[in-house]
Amino acid sequence: MNLFLRYVPLCLLAYLFWVLLRRKAYRTCPCFFIYVAFGVAAGLARFAAHNYHGSYFATYWITEAGYDVLGILVMYEVLRAALGNLTRSPWGRLIFPAVLVAGIGLSFARAQAAPPQAVGMPSYIVIGEIAVRFVQVLIFAGLVTLVPILGLRWRQYSFGIATGFGVYATIALLTTTKYSDFGTRFKLLWGWTSLVAYSLAVLIWIWFFSVPEKNETPGSKLSAPSPGVLKEYKNALRRMR
């Protein structure tokens, strides 16, 4: 694959990093900001090491593991931001662990059915990566389902982050599943599809972060209120009448 095309996502990530800095996104979405900063640093490290096979191998797998961990943290941040106080209720706290367990379980089941080609530590990183993709698709699809049901506003940063990850993860899962069916003939297409899908995800993030979030005022965030808060303002309203 052409070296320039391989590093298109890095250029887009660098632009996204600048957009995030301009929007001061490190205040509202710190984990995502760290993820993008890590992405830029990882891309540069891979670029610097691409002529040295051993170094590139180590850099690649270490950065992949970093992407996995940060991917999970970002999805937790997204869920907290979108569902607001609901994640603090007793059953709300179980949402993320349940999704995580489902993702890990499905990833291990998949690894049993079609073992990854990598051996040793990289194979665990691949399993972790697939688990992260499951988590990303589940959280994205779950949040999007809430838009028509609860009438949530979709044009918010948390939905933007989830959409980018969701689109990329859906395509990645699809290509990975098909890859195991077609074998190595699919390898080149898989590489291209992943590249295009990740670039698309970065473009989605740039688009969402290109305008400021409209409900920055405290309390105006359209997220589900906690039962305690609901009770509080209901009492206040009752007293007013």
Residues in the chain: 241
State which of positions 51-80 bind other proteins (CB under 8 A): none
Identity of the amino acid at 127: I
Q: Which of 90, 80, 40, 95 is closest to 63 using CA atoms? A: 40
Binding flag, residue 3, other proteins (CB under 8 A)? no
Considering only residues 29, 79, 125, 137, which one is a binding residue for other proteins as defined by CB under 8 A?
137
**What separation, in Å, do the N-terminal and C-terminal C-alpha atoms of the chain show?**
69
Indicate which single residue of 147, 187, 188, 191 sits in contact with other proteins (rule: CB under 8 A).
147
Residues 6+ apart with CB under 8 A from 152: 82, 143, 146, 159, 222, 223
User: Looking at 170, 186, 196, 203, which residue binds other proteins (CB under 8 A)?
Assistant: 170
- Find the binder of other proteins among 148, 184, 185, 239 (CB under 8 A): 148
Does residue number 211 form part of the binding site for other proteins (CB under 8 A)? yes
Among 53, 185, 239, 241, binds other proteins (CB under 8 A): 241
Question: Does residue 90 touch other proteins according to CB under 8 A?
Answer: no
Helix (H, G, I), strand (E, B) or coil at 155: coil
Assigned token pair, 53 = 């096979």
Q: How many residues bind other proteins (CB under 8 A)?
A: 52
Position among 29, 36, 167, 206 found at the interface with other proteins (CB under 8 A): 167
Residues 102-131 that bind other proteins (CB under 8 A): 106, 109-110, 112-113
Could you tell me where the DSSP H helices lie in the chain?
A: 3-6, 8-22, 25-28, 30-49, 53-83, 95-113, 121-150, 157-182, 187-209, 227-240
Q: By CB under 8 A, which span of 31-39, 64-72, 186-194, 220-228 interacts with other proteins?
A: 220-228
Nearest to 74 by CA among 38, 106, 98: 38
Minimal distance, residue 56 CB to other proteins, in Å: 30
Residue 35, classified by CB atoms within 10 Å of its CB into exposed (0-12), middle (13-18) or buried (19+), is: buried
Torsion, Cα of 156, 27, 99, 223 (10° steps): -40
**Residue 200 Cβ, how far from other proteins at the closest point, in Å?**
10
Instruction: Summarize as ranges the residues that interact with other proteins (CB under 8 A).
Output: 23-24, 106, 109-110, 112-113, 134, 137-138, 140-141, 144-145, 147-151, 153-154, 159, 163, 166-167, 169-170, 173-174, 177, 211-220, 222, 224-225, 227, 229-230, 233-234, 237-238, 240-241
